[in-house]
Structure 1
Amino acid sequence: MTLFWISTVVLVVVAIVLLALTLNSKKANNDDQLRDELNKAFYKDRLTELEEETNEGLVENQQDLIDDLKQSLLDDIPNQAETKKTSLSPMTILVPSVVLVVVMTYGLYMHFGGAGKVQDWQEVSGRLPELSKRLMGESAEPMTEDEMQDLTLALRTRLHYQPDDSTGWLLLGRIALANRDVTTATDAMEKAYRLEPNDADVKLGYAQALMMSQDELEQNQARGLLNSLLKEEYVDLRVLSLLAFDAFERQDYPAAVRYWSVMQRMIGPDDSRYEMLTRSIENAQAKMGEPIVEGKSVAVTITVSSDVSLPQDAALIVSVHPADGSPMPVAAARYPLGTFPRTVVLDDNNSMMQGRKLSSLDGLIVRARIDSDGNVATRDGDWFGESQPAALGDTVELVIDQQY
């Protein structure tokens, strides 16, 4: 910021110097002297012409004409009193001009130049180390949404001047992943991967970003990266988790069970995540035709209004909520769009919250949404429907006929 103000002062000084040089270089023209010299030249030329006309016999009274010419020349000589004129000193013009240049330059910048925003930007850029530590969990206080935006701005500023900083690109990609910004996450992770193609964290981050894409080629690339990470001496649990959920989404249930089982062996039965993995394994086994975990279930028959336009590659998301209408689902499932009407069944295997199962609900409502872009965090333009309150064991019916 200091360099900026120094630059503005230099430019203003240059402008003032140019103005002063212009004023000093102005030459005063002596109009009376120029007119006198012109009259003399005209007088001599006229005398020559009269001489020639006299020789040719065209003029009889040459002397009278010469006297008239002399009188005309005398009449054109200005009075000395009239030639006096007042002239302004260059400083009289320079001083107010300098004041005007300075006032207009800084006044207009303060009004239109966004000095406050530039100062805020500089302050945010200086907080990059502090915000990075907050993001990495080195502070007890969670980051606010404004602080996340500040961190993103500071990171982009740093990466503009240091485009070869792979750690910065990785951090920017992680922030974009948290915000479900697929495009930014993929671009940032790709740049980090190009800089550090053998770094395990970079590979994992790039694979996470590619997994969020709807492009099958990018998803295959993500699977290739994850499989290469399986060959490392140390395997991150997130690698197995991504492979398991990807296999489950592709309905490759045996592979999903295999990955989740490996995760269980790695964390042990004392880990709080062990029970959640057990439920995931049981859910996959149920999809393979094996008996599901005993517990109550809810069958949902879903129809779609004739006004609804079903986009290609959309998905159906069904969620079960307490009868009070709480937005947090107790159980949820995602299905390929398929055809309608259709019936789906949700049970304890679809529970979303640890320690609270679908079978524990006294009453419930069911919501269904057609996810058009593959991003569960965005709903603009999606069609949805909601059932009337029901009880476990009932067959619930709902119609998808509303749009966000």
Structure 2
Amino acid sequence: MTLFWIASIILVVFSCVLIALPVMRQKANNDEALRDELNKAFYKDRLTELEEEAEEGLVENQQDLIDDLKQSLLDDIPADSKNSQENAISPMAVMIPSMLLVVGLSYGMYYKFGAQQDVLQWQEVTSNLPALSKKLMSPEGAQLSDDEMRDLTLALRTRLHYEPEDSTGWLLLGRIALANRDVDTAIGSMKKAYNLEPESNDIMLGYAQALMLSQDDVDQENARRILGNLVQKDYVDLRVFSLLAFDAFERQDFPAAVRYWSIMQQMIGPEDSRYEMLSRSIENAKKQMGQQVGSGQSVSVTINIADDVTADPNAALIVSVHTADGSPMPVAAARYPVGSLPRTVVLDDGNSMIAERKLSSLESLMVRARIDSDGNVATKEGDWFGESEAVTMGEPVEVMIDKRY
């Protein structure tokens, strides 16, 4: 805003200079002075002629002729000459009111038609960006009103105009566009954030979400590639598997959809209110596959940890279902981050190791759970583990991790 006022003052001063220059350069009217000089020259010439004529004896009343010449000279001076000089307008009397008129008109027209209120509102919104961003990122961020969302978008665009390398700003703008179903803006903003920080998990997820909304097959394929990279990086976020599941369902890849929704169930546990909704989605996908959905097709496993066991929350928790005789080869298995224990996970046919041998085909089973500390499933030395008793399919299973390889 300071720059605007400086620029406006410079323009107004320049306009005033344009008005002042012609007035200051205006030359006085020299008609009267030229007339007086001409009369004087004529008078002197006539006096010289009278003297010559008097010397030659041609003139007898020289003084009378001189008096007549003087009188004719006086008669040639206009009566209003003195008044016109007295009434001459000073240049300052013209210049100062003109300048005041320019200043008054300039700022008066801006006040009337210059959208001053919009500019002031824009400045207020821009200064309020931190508060709006904090409110959006908070758990109750969805409660932002439409006006607040518009204000936040305007403030973000202003900031990104001056700070185009702000990846967080582009990510936030993309999320707002996603909320407003503005696909083009969402993809464009997320792409800029992704180009600035291609290894950021949050940005990768946001970019994949935007690409999934595109009708372009290439965009959707790129989204699957990004989501696959997130899964390989063990990025634990329900939205990753949710996007993969719905995408698989839309492509009629129902087994993949079941697998992803089953993983989501395992991540949230049966006590979560979303668990039943995911169960209905799984049943719908299985019906699409022509499968009969019955009871006893999933195994619920509650995992506890002994008091003397210390587990890194970032380590991997590997849960495997085996035949009741404890065969080393698992029938089904799943991998989770350890997180906080105790916790409950659910395995079903989507976790089966071999397509020809489903988990639901078992009549009895036992479960093993292991904390993989080095990220290599093949190595077990130093890992903590536990195993359950043999149970009948459909019964809940409990595993206590209290042993070490």
Taking structure 1 as reference, are residues 36 and 247 closer, same or farther at Cα in structure 2, changes over 3 Å only? same
**Alignment partner of 1:215 is 2:216:** yes
Taking structure 1 as reference, are residues 287 and 184 closer, same or farther at Cα in structure 2, changes over 3 Å only? same
Name 1:113's counterpart in structure 2: 114
- The structure with the larger Rg is 2
C-alpha deviation, 1:10, in angstroms: 3.6
Q: TM-score, length-normalised on structure 2?
A: 0.60
Counterpart code for 1:108:
M
C-alpha deviation, 1:95, in angstroms: 2.5
Q: How many Å separate the matches in 1 of 2:37 and 2:207? A: 88
Taking structure 1 as reference, are residues 264 and 138 closer, same or farther at Cα in structure 2, changes over 3 Å only? closer
Counterpart code for 2:122:
W
Q: How many Å separate the matches in 1 of 2:136 and 2:90? A: 65
C-alpha deviation, 1:13, in angstroms: 3.1
C-alpha deviation, 1:136, in angstroms: 0.8
Name 2:60's counterpart in structure 1: none
C-alpha deviation, 1:103, in angstroms: 1.3
C-alpha deviation, 1:76, in angstroms: 12
Name 2:277's counterpart in structure 1: 276
Name 1:385's counterpart in structure 2: none
Q: How many Å separate the matches in 1 of 2:237 and 2:173? A: 21
Q: How many Å separate the matches in 2 of 1:184 and 1:26? A: 60
Counterpart code for 1:269:
P
Identity %, equivalent residues: 61
C-alpha deviation, 1:272, in angstroms: 2.0
Name 2:179's counterpart in structure 1: 178
Name 1:239's counterpart in structure 2: 240
Could you tell me whether the CA contact under 8 Å between 1:282 and 1:293 is conserved in 2?
no
User: Secondary structure of 2:265's partner?
Assistant: helix
Q: How many Å separate the matches in 2 of 1:284 and 1:98? A: 80
Could you tell me whether the CA contact under 8 Å between 1:32 and 1:78 is conserved in 2?
no
Name 1:289's counterpart in structure 2: 290
Name 2:136's counterpart in structure 1: 135
Name 1:79's counterpart in structure 2: 77
Name 2:267's counterpart in structure 1: 266
Name 2:30's counterpart in structure 1: 30
Taking structure 1 as reference, are residues 138 and 14 closer, same or farther at Cα in structure 2, changes over 3 Å only? farther
Name 1:89's counterpart in structure 2: 90
Q: How many Å separate the matches in 2 of 1:34 and 1:77? A: 16
Q: How many Å separate the matches in 2 of 1:220 and 1:38? A: 99
C-alpha deviation, 1:226, in angstroms: 0.7
**Alignment partner of 1:4 is 2:4:** yes
Counterpart code for 1:9:
I
Counterpart code for 1:223:
R
Counterpart code for 2:22:
T
User: Secondary structure of 2:143's partner?
Assistant: coil
Taking structure 1 as reference, are residues 144 and 245 closer, same or farther at Cα in structure 2, changes over 3 Å only? same
Counterpart code for 1:225:
I
1:91-147 residue CA offsets vs partner (Å, 9 max, x unmatched): 211221122112101111111111111111111111100111111126689211111
Q: How many Å separate the matches in 1 of 2:38 and 2:204? A: 90
Could you tell me whether the CA contact under 8 Å between 1:133 and 1:139 is conserved in 2?
no
C-alpha deviation, 1:78, in angstroms: 4.2
Q: TM-score, length-normalised on structure 1?
A: 0.60
Taking structure 1 as reference, are residues 205 and 277 closer, same or farther at Cα in structure 2, changes over 3 Å only? same
RMSD over aligned CA atoms reads: 2.8
Q: How many Å separate the matches in 2 of 1:78 and 1:293? A: 129
Name 2:168's counterpart in structure 1: 167
Could you tell me whether the CA contact under 8 Å between 1:125 and 1:157 is conserved in 2?
yes
C-alpha deviation, 1:6, in angstroms: 3.7
Taking structure 1 as reference, are residues 198 and 189 closer, same or farther at Cα in structure 2, changes over 3 Å only? same
Counterpart code for 2:211:
L
Taking structure 1 as reference, are residues 242 and 79 closer, same or farther at Cα in structure 2, changes over 3 Å only? same
Could you tell me whether the CA contact under 8 Å between 1:283 and 1:292 is conserved in 2?
no
User: Is there any run of 5+ residues in structure 2 with no aligned partner, and where?
Assistant: 42-68, 296-405
Q: How many Å separate the matches in 2 of 1:288 and 1:98? A: 84
Taking structure 1 as reference, are residues 187 and 77 closer, same or farther at Cα in structure 2, changes over 3 Å only? farther
C-alpha deviation, 1:19, in angstroms: 2.9
Q: How many Å separate the matches in 2 of 1:14 and 1:155? A: 36
May I ask how many residue pairs the two structures share in their alignment?
Answer: 264
Could you tell me whether the CA contact under 8 Å between 1:170 and 1:188 is conserved in 2?
yes
Taking structure 1 as reference, are residues 139 and 177 closer, same or farther at Cα in structure 2, changes over 3 Å only? closer
Could you tell me whether the CA contact under 8 Å between 1:207 and 1:223 is conserved in 2?
yes
Counterpart code for 1:190:
K
Q: How many Å separate the matches in 1 of 2:252 and 2:142? A: 40
Counterpart code for 2:30:
N
Q: How many Å separate the matches in 2 of 1:39 and 1:192? A: 89
Q: How many Å separate the matches in 2 of 1:114 and 1:144? A: 24
Could you tell me whether the CA contact under 8 Å between 2:194 and 2:207 is conserved in 1?
yes
Name 1:191's counterpart in structure 2: 192
